[in-house]
Amino acid sequence: MPAIVGTPRETFPGERRVAITPRQCEVLRKSGIETVVEESAGAEAGFPDEMYVSRGARIATREDVFRNANIIGQVRCLGANPDAGRSDILLLRPGQVLIGFGEPLTALSECADLATTGVSFLALELIPRITRAQSMDALSSMATISGYRAVLLAANQLPKIFPLLMTAAGTITPAKVFVLGAGVAGLQAIATARRLGAVVCAYDVRPAVKEQVESVGAKFIMLDVETGSAEDKGGYAKAMDEAFYRRQRQLLTDVLREQDVVISTAAVPGRKAPVLITEDMAAAMPPGSVIVDVAAERGGNCELTRPGETVIHNGVTILGPLNLPSLAPYHASQMLSGNICSLIKAITDKSELLLNRNDEIVRETLVTHGGRVVHPRVAELLDASRVSGEVNV
């Protein structure tokens, strides 16, 4: 079956990214893959319809995109767009491939609803961390943008400047920035804060990242806690027990007293973000200091975080930004589109759609297929939710 890739306009409130950019339309066309794009799908990201047409894409209505394409690329599929995304259910059809973010480990009822359409849903969150799939790692791409934007938000909010300045009026000391969590977002935050002139230190529950932290110019903070089981086989942080987090919070309090800015990025896939900064810890920070909680969408690493809001507590400002990648939609779309197109190439052969379930990338990423939820972990979570009554499908 010849592959035709469709790109609908995003309907999630405030989402400015687009799944396929004009440049990738041209790349796909050179591989013999046709592209069809909804009117104005890329406008908010800086890609007008004329750019798509000049790169070989066809502009169409939303209904025509879903009708003509057998591969649909979306930034936010139903699970990541649970309200407005429901209108697309009637447009999906059996045998169609859907690629995008869909929060499959938490949006269980939405996964079940997608299964009823017969669509084969490939969730970008589940791309395996193997060498062959590096070009498809959309989570890392978006985390890079998030880490960068988080530092800019902090710098804009802080009543100080980041760099050291020696002036006729005296010397201005550099701001002190502490990054909690040294994954992709954390490392990008470190690099960005360093470029702005801050003195940066960082902590991660995984001691193995010490060398990475130091390589981008930060001091790695060592805490006297047991971290032997803090990393899973995919390199992601694992959830720890409450005793561990309690001890960690005690030790971090002394570190926070010295900081002007905290960028918190700690997250565990499919789980609520661990609370690393309590109300008392935040209150111990200097007046005027800033916490940017990148994990706000998962509940936040700070006890005071309110997702999507700014909170001021005891002189400390806590930002809970949502959808940080959408604040830089041009480059976020550019990176995400490259990830999606790499995955499309993995499921096509000489422009023919070929969903090989024996391929590790397909097997690990495929959530629904043939009218069922086929991903073992998602299916297990869904069954457990049905038994508990949390999901009724």
Q: What is the mean pLDDT of the chain?
A: 93
Tell me what pLDDT residue 152 has. 98
Tell me what pLDDT residue 342 has. 98
- Paired tokens of 268: 């565990």
pLDDT digits (tens, 9 = 90+) for 6-51: 999 999 999 999 999 999 999 999 999 999 999 999 999 999 999 9
Q: For the chain of 393 residues, list the mean pLDDT of each consecutive stretch of 10.
A: 95 98 97 97 98 98 98 98 96 97 96 97 97 97 98 98 95 97 96 98 92 96 68 54 76 93 91 92 96 96 97 97 98 98 96 94 97 96 80 56
Tell me what pLDDT residue 228 has. 53
Sheet of 310-313, strand order:
219-220, 199-203, 176-180, 261-264, 290-293, 316-319, 310-313
Tell me what pLDDT residue 200 has. 98
Q: What residues are labeled active site?
A: 129, 134, 137, 140, 236
Q: Which domains does the chain possess?
A: 4-137+329-388 (3.40.50.720), 144-322 (3.40.50.720)
Residue 50, CA atoms < 13 Å, CB-side half-sphere: 1
Tell me what pLDDT residue 386 has. 79
Q: What is the Cα–Cα distance from 70 to 101, expressed in whole angstroms?
A: 18
pTM beyond cutoff 0.85: yes
Tell me what pLDDT residue 389 has. 65
Tell me what pLDDT residue 234 has. 53
Neighbours of 388 (CB within 10 A): 8
